[in-house]
C-alpha cells in the first residue's frame, strides 16, 4: 500500500498537520495522490491568534519594505513556476500550458502589489480652512481572509493575498480542499521572501473552517470566489457579523456574433474561450448568440469541426488542449446537463460523452460538447454548467441579442464579434454586464484594473484586485489639523464650522 504525502496547514510560520482526513485525487487517473486534514474551529483560532500577534509590527512596517517582500515573492514564483504548474495540473486536471497562463496572470497581481507605496499615498489640502490643513491616508483593516475556488489554485489566491499583505494586513487563506498544494507552496515561498510569520497563513478545510472565519470577530474582511448560492450565503453571514465582504459568484457568459464578424477568427477564439480548462472558468464563454440564420449556420459548422479536433488527455502531458474535469461528481453533473439539453430539444451538434476517454479512462474526462438552437427557457441556457459545453442561440437582431443577455440573472462577462465600431459602442454602453470584450472573448482585466461582474455574479460594493482591491483592504482616515498662533485668544464659536 502506497503512503500518501500529507498536505499540512501553514500556521504561525510552520506546517501543522491534523484534522478530518481527506484524500486528494488526480482527476486524470482517478487515483489518490495526497492526503489532507480538514481544519476545525480550533485550528482556525490558532491562525487568528498568530495573525493578531503578528499584525501590529507588520502594520507599522514602511510600505516600501513590504513591497520588497513582494518583489522577492514574484521572483520566487517565477523560479518555481514548473513545480507550481505541475501541482495545479495534478490536482485540478488542467493542462500544463493553461496552469502556466493562470500563474502568470497571478504574478501580474504581485507586480501590482509591488507598487503599494504609490497606491497608499493619501490626499492633502493645505489651508482647507483658516490655518487648517486636511489630509487622508489608507490604513490596513487588520486580519482579513480569502476563500478561493478549485478552478484557479494559484491565480485567485494571488488576486487577494499579495495586495492585502502589501497594504499592511495579516491574511488567512482557506483554499479549495480539492486543490490544496499550490497554496501551501506559496506560503513557503512567502516565508523565503522574508514575510514575517503569522502574516500569511493557510488553513485547509471545508464548511466548518469557512464558518469559523465568518463568525470570528477578529476577521475584519473576507473575499470569496465560487458559486452564486454560496456567495450569497457568505455575503449575508459576513455582513451580519459586521465584516466587509466581496463575494464573487457564478456566470453565464455570452458572446454575440454579428453578421459582419470575421467568422474564422470568432470561431477560433470561441473554441479557446469555451473549452479552455475544460470550461471550468467563471469567465468561460458558454453561450454564442448568433444574429441571423446564415451567421449561425456558418459559425456552428466551424465550431463543430474545431471542437471535434481538440486533443484531450492527462494535463501533465504536453501538447494537449484540454484535461480532465475536477472530480467524478462534477463530470457526472456535466453529463446530466448534456442529457437534459438533448431531451429539451436542443440540437446536439457534438456530444462530448462520446469521446473515447469518457468510457476508456479511469479519469474524469468529458469531450467538447456543442448545442445548437438552444432557447432561453432551457436549463442548459439558464444554469452555469461549468464544463466543456457551448450553447448556440439564434437571434433575429442585434437588439434581441442585447435584450437576451440583459435578461439573464448573471452579469459577469460578455463580448461581441464585429467590424462595426458603432455596433461595438452600442453594445458596450447598453449591455448590463460588468466586464465587456470587443472581439476579445475573455475580457479579464489586467492587474491594474479591477475584476467583477454585475447582478448575481457579485455581492459587495468593490471588485477584486486593482484599485478596488486597495480600497477593499484598507480604510480611509481623514485628519484635520490646526495650530493656533501662540499669542491669539479666540472666542468660542457655537455655530457649525464652515468656510
By annotation, the residues acting in catalysis are 282
Alpha helices of 222-292 — where are they, by DSSP H? 228-240, 263-275
Structure-block grid coordinates of residue 274:
469555451
Residue from 103, 57, 62, 53 nearest 83 by CA:
103
Q: Helix, strand, coil % (nearest 5) of the chain?
A: 40, 25, 35
Residue 366 CA to residue 90 CA, distance in Å, equals 17
Beta pairing partners, 20: 38
Sign, Cα dihedral of 154, 157, 159, 165? negative
CB atoms within 10 A of CB 429: 8
Which residues are CB-neighbours of 50 under 8 A, at least 6 positions away? Answer: 11, 12, 13, 197, 198, 201
Which residues are CB-neighbours of 422 under 8 A, at least 6 positions away? Answer: none
Which residues are CB-neighbours of 288 under 8 A, at least 6 positions away? Answer: 254, 255, 257, 270, 274, 299, 303, 390, 391, 392, 393
Amino acid at each position: 500500500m502506497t503512503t500518501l504525502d500529507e498536505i499540512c496547514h501553514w500556521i504561525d510560520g510552520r506546517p501543522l498537520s491534523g484534522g478530518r482526513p481527506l484524500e486528494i485525487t488526480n482527476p486524470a487517473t482517478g487515483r489518490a495522490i495526497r492526503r489532507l486534514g480538514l481544519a476545525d474551529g480550533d485550528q482556525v483560532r490558532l491562525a487568528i491568534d498568530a495573525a493578531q500577534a503578528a499584525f501590529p509590527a507588520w502594520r507599522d512596517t514602511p510600505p516600501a519594505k513590504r513591497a520588497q517582500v513582494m518583489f522577492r515573492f514574484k521572483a520566487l514564483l517565477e523560479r518555481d513556476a514548473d513545480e507550481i504548474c505541475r501541482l495545479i495540473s495534478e490536482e485540478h486536471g488542467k493542462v500544463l500550458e493553461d496552469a502556466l497562463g493562470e500563474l502568470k496572470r497571478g504574478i501580474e497581481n504581485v507586480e501590482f502589489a509591488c507598487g503599494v507605496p504609490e497606491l497608499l499615498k493619501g490626499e492633502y489640502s493645505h489651508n482647507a480652512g483658516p490655518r487648517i490643513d486636511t489630509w487622508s491616508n489608507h490604513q490596513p483593516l487588520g486580519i482579513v481572509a480569502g476563500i478561493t475556488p478549485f478552478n484557479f489554485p494559484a491565480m485567485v489566491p494571488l488576486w487577494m493575498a499579495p495586495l492585502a499583505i502589501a497594504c499592511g494586513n495579516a491574511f488567512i487563506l482557506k483554499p479549495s480542499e480539492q486543490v490544496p498544494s499550490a497554496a501551501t507552496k506559496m506560503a513557503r515561498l512567502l516565508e523565503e521572501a522574508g514575510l514575517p510569520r503569522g502574516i500569511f497563513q493557510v488553513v485547509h478545510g471545508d464548511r466548518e473552517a469557512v464558518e469559523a472565519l465568518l463568525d470570528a470577530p477578529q476577521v475584519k474582511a473576507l473575499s470569496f470566489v465560487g458559486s452564486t448560492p454560496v456567495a450569497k450565503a457568505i455575503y449575508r453571514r459576513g455582513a451580519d457579523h459586521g465584516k466587509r465582504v466581496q463575494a464573487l459568484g457564478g456566470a453565464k457568459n455570452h458572446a454575440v456574433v454579428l453578421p459582419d464578424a470575421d467568422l474564422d477568427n470568432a470561431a477560433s477564439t470561441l473554441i479557446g474561450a469555451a473549452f479552455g480548462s475544460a470550461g471550468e472558468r467563471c469567465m468561460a464563454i458558454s453561450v454564442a448568440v448568433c444574429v441571423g440564420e446564415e451567421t449561425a449556420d456558418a459559425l456552428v459548422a466551424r465550431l463543430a469541426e474545431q471542437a471535434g479536433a481538440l486533443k484531450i488527455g492527462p494535463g501533465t502531458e504536453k501538447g494537449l488542449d484540454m484535461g480532465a474535469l475536477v472530480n467524478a461528481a462534477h463530470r457526472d453533473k456535466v453529463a446530466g446537463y448534456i442529457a437534459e439539453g438533448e431531451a429539451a430539444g436542443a440540437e446536439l451538434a457534438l456530444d462530448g460523452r462520446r469521446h473515447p476517454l469518457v468510457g476508456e479512462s479511469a479519469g474524469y474526462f468529458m469531450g467538447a460538447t456543442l448545442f445548437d438552437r438552444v432557447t432561453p427557457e432551457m436549463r442548459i441556457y439558464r444554469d452555469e454548467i461549468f464544463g466543456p459545453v457551448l450553447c448556440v442561440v439564434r437571434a433575429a437582431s442585434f437588439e434581441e441579442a442585447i435584450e437576451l443577455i440583459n435578461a439573464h440573472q448573471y452579469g459577469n462577462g460578455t463580448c461581441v464579434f464585429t467590424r462595426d465600431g458603432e455596433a461595438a459602442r452600442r453594445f458596450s454602453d447598453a449591455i448590463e454586464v460588468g466586464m465587456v470584450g470587443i472581439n476579445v472573448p475573455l475580457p479579464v482585466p489586467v492587474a491594474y484594473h479591477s475584476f467583477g461582474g454585475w447582478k448575481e455574479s457579485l455581492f459587495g460594493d468593490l471588485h477584486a484586485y486593482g484599485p478596488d482591491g486597495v480600497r477593499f483592504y484598507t480604510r480611509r482616515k481623514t485628519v484635520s489639523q490646526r495650530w493656533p498662533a501662540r499669542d491669539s485668544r479666540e472666542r468660542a464659536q457655537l455655530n457649525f464650522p464652515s468656510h
